[in-house]
Every structure is written in structure tokens, then in C-alpha cells.
Amino acid sequence: MKAIEVDAYGDSDELSVVDAETPEPDAGEVRIDIEAAGINFADVMQRRGHYPGGPEPPYVPGMEAAGTVDAVGEGVDDLSEGDRVVGMITTGGYAEYVTADAQSLFPVPEAMSFAEAAGFPVQFLTAHACLFEWGGLEEGESVLIQAAAGGVGTAAVQLASNAGATVFGTASTREKLELANSLGCDHAINYTNTDFRDIVDEETDGEGVDLVLESVGDDVFERSLDVMAHFGRMVTYGVASGVPAEVSNQRLLFENKTVKGFHLGQAAMHDPSRVMKAVPELTDGLASGDLEIVLGESFALEDAAEAHQYLEDRKSSGKLVLEP
């Protein structure tokens, strides 16, 4: 089978097309004939070697895969060949086939494309957990979502707006701002020419927001702390800048602010029910049209390096996918 391999930590040119052995499912697993694989910024961080506990080269990246079951391992009774599925995996999604734990998979409705399905697990489960389970967002509160036009951002804007929150969001272009607005963002801020602190301060009469979803690190983390209201909360779930941020406990103490971290893979490993309990609500929202999976560009499998660079250059809106 064709697969994409990270040959060494480094730039996007470390991604290469290789011929790999087609995997066989172990007990409790199925093999998926992949139709679409999700691209996440975590894939980029792993490739750079900046992802704690990430895989060591050479490896096949990709933590989301959607397709049809084409082989079933021993002990799997609830899935059959031909079933349409999507799920989270540790690695291996950038390929024509991958094996996955049958219990980690979700059915894909006939009305949903595989590309859309590949944009569901990481984005919507992360957004929902950060907003509600970790962030405690309630109706009538305000939230600032960094990178509001990205994969997680587009999901978070919709969920927060539907929950009755006032939504602030940052993005870098007019097109991305318009996308965020169309999904329910009340105050879309172009961070390339405006300090989001000024807008939040003006629109909240200096009170700040109740919740921040932060995924960048570096000085964006510190400035996000600035816009939090007294007793405000932040959930940090990424380091897109590549520069980890630090926070003074003295500042949290005297400003009565809370910072929580969220990592989907670790959360699902240690307490899967806490994350997965949102699945029925999310799938119902998608089925009813209250939520939508916002797709960005689609790339052929062999163009994975181009896709990574596209993401790193901040050209993307919505979810990027590879289609073998």
C-alpha cells in the first residue's frame, strides 16, 4: 500500500511517499480502507519533534481516518466488512489502509461524506470538551476563541453560539473573519492588524471574557490572560507557535483566574467516558443541521508535504484532509 512516512524530524519535506506493508488487524481491531484522513496541527508538531510523547521517525503520521471496514479481527462482533466508519488512531492515517481498535470507531451516515467524517472526531470532541467539560461555559457568558476559522475553531464557534454565549474570535484574513461570522461569531478580530485585547476591552466595558480557548502559546497565551474577567477561565489545548507559554502562579492568585490544559488523546485514554459522552449530542447536531463540519482544502495522499506547508503557512480555513 501507499503511505506517507516522516523520515526525520524537521520541515514538511521530511514527508515522503513509501510502499508499506498492508497491516493485518489483531484481535479487537478492524482494518479500514481509508477514503479520507484528517490533517491536524498536532501532526505538524509531531513532525517537528515538538510533541511530548510523540512517535519517533520513521513513522506514518495521521490520527484520524474515515473509510470502509475491509477486514475484521478476532472478537469483533459489532462491525462487518463494508461498514462506513471514522475514528481516532495513534498514528497511521496517512495511508491507504490502517488498523484501529473497533471500540474507538464511530459509524458514518450515508449522507455524510468521508471527508466530512474525517473532520469530526478531533475537532468537535476537542471543541466540546474545552468549552463545556473543561471550560464550564454557560448561557449568557462570553468566550474568546483563538484561531476561530481553523478546524477546532469553527467547531467551537458553532457550539458556543448555539449555547447562547457571546463569541469573540481571532483570524488572519477577511475571508476567515467572514467564515467565523457566518458560523455565529459575534466579534471577529483580525489579529494581524488589531490587538484583540482592545476589542474585548471595548465590547465588554473593560470586564473581559469569562472563558478563553487558547491554542497558540507564546505571547498569545499571556495576552489571552489579559482579557480574562475576574474569575475567568482559560483552556489551553495547543502550541501552534511552537513556543510553550508559562504563567505566574502569583498572577493567577491575585486575579482569581484559572488555567486548565486539555489533550484529547490523553483525556480519552485516562477517562474516555468524560470525552465520548458528547458524541450523541454532536452527531444529533450534525444530523439536524445545527452544526456543520467546515471543510477546507483537500489534498491527494502524495501531496501530504504540500498540505502540511499549507497549514503551517496559515492559509487554511476549516478542516484539511488527505484523500488517498
Q: Is 299 helix (H, G, I), strand (E, B) or coil?
A: strand
Question: How many distinct structural domains can be found in the chain?
Answer: 2
Alpha-carbon distance of 56 to 283, in angstroms, equals 34
Domain co-membership, 164 together with 246? yes
Domain co-membership, 75 together with 162? no
> Domain of 88: which CATH number?
3.90.180.10
Burial class (CB in 10 A: 0-12, 13-18, 19+), 131: buried
Domain co-membership, 138 together with 238? yes
Alpha-carbon distance of 262 to 113, in angstroms, equals 28
Length of the chain: 324
Identify the band that residue 242 occupies on the pLDDT scale cut at 50, 70 and 90: confident
Residue 281 belongs to some domain of the structure: no
Which pLDDT does position 315 carry in this prediction? Answer: 85
Burial class (CB in 10 A: 0-12, 13-18, 19+), 53: exposed
> Domain of 137: which CATH number?
3.40.50.720
Domain co-membership, 108 together with 13? yes
Alpha-carbon distance of 225 to 99, in angstroms, equals 41
Domain co-membership, 111 together with 136? no
Beta bridge partners, 323, equal 300
Residue 48 belongs to some domain of the structure: yes
Which pLDDT does position 126 carry in this prediction? Answer: 96
Domain co-membership, 96 together with 197? no
Domain co-membership, 64 together with 109? yes
DSSP letters spanning 75-127: T--S--TT-EEEEE-SS--SBSEEEEEGGGEEE--TTS-HHHHHTSHHHHHHH
Q: In what order do the strands lie in the sheet with 166-171?
A: 187-190, 166-171, 142-145, 209-214, 228-236, 258-261
Beta bridge partners, 167, equal 143
Residue 288 belongs to some domain of the structure: no
Identify the band that residue 212 occupies on the pLDDT scale cut at 50, 70 and 90: very high
Please, are residues 29 and 76 in contact by the beta-carbon 8 Å criterion?
A: yes
Beta bridge partners, 88, equal 64
Residue recorded with cell 448561557? 139
Alpha-carbon distance of 290 to 282, in angstroms, equals 9
Residue 99 belongs to some domain of the structure: yes
Residue 98 belongs to some domain of the structure: yes
What's the CA dihedral at 250, 252, 253, 259 to 10 degrees?
A: -130
Domain co-membership, 10 together with 114? yes
Which comes out higher in pLDDT, residue 111 or 159? 159
pLDDT in tens, 163-208: 999 999 999 999 999 999 999 999 999 999 999 999 999 999 999 9
Domain co-membership, 150 together with 204? yes
Identify the band that residue 294 occupies on the pLDDT scale cut at 50, 70 and 90: very high
Strands 258-261 and 295-300: unpaired
Summarize the confidence of residues 121-141 as an average pLDDT: 97
Does the pLDDT value for residue 76 go beyond 90? yes
Q: Which domain holds residue 205?
A: 123-266
Does the pLDDT value for residue 269 go beyond 90? no
Domain co-membership, 170 together with 152? yes
Q: How high does pLDDT run on average in the chain?
A: 95
Identify the band that residue 241 occupies on the pLDDT scale cut at 50, 70 and 90: confident
Quickly list H helices, the chain.
41-48, 114-118, 121-128, 151-162, 174-182, 196-203, 218-226, 249-255, 264-270, 272-276, 279-288, 304-312
Residue 274 belongs to some domain of the structure: no
Which pLDDT does position 317 carry in this prediction? Answer: 85
Alpha-carbon distance of 242 to 231, in angstroms, equals 28
Residue 279 belongs to some domain of the structure: no
Which pLDDT does position 314 carry in this prediction? Answer: 83
Residue 198 belongs to some domain of the structure: yes
Please, are residues 199 and 175 in contact by the beta-carbon 8 Å criterion?
A: no
Domain co-membership, 77 together with 140? no
Domain co-membership, 115 together with 129? no
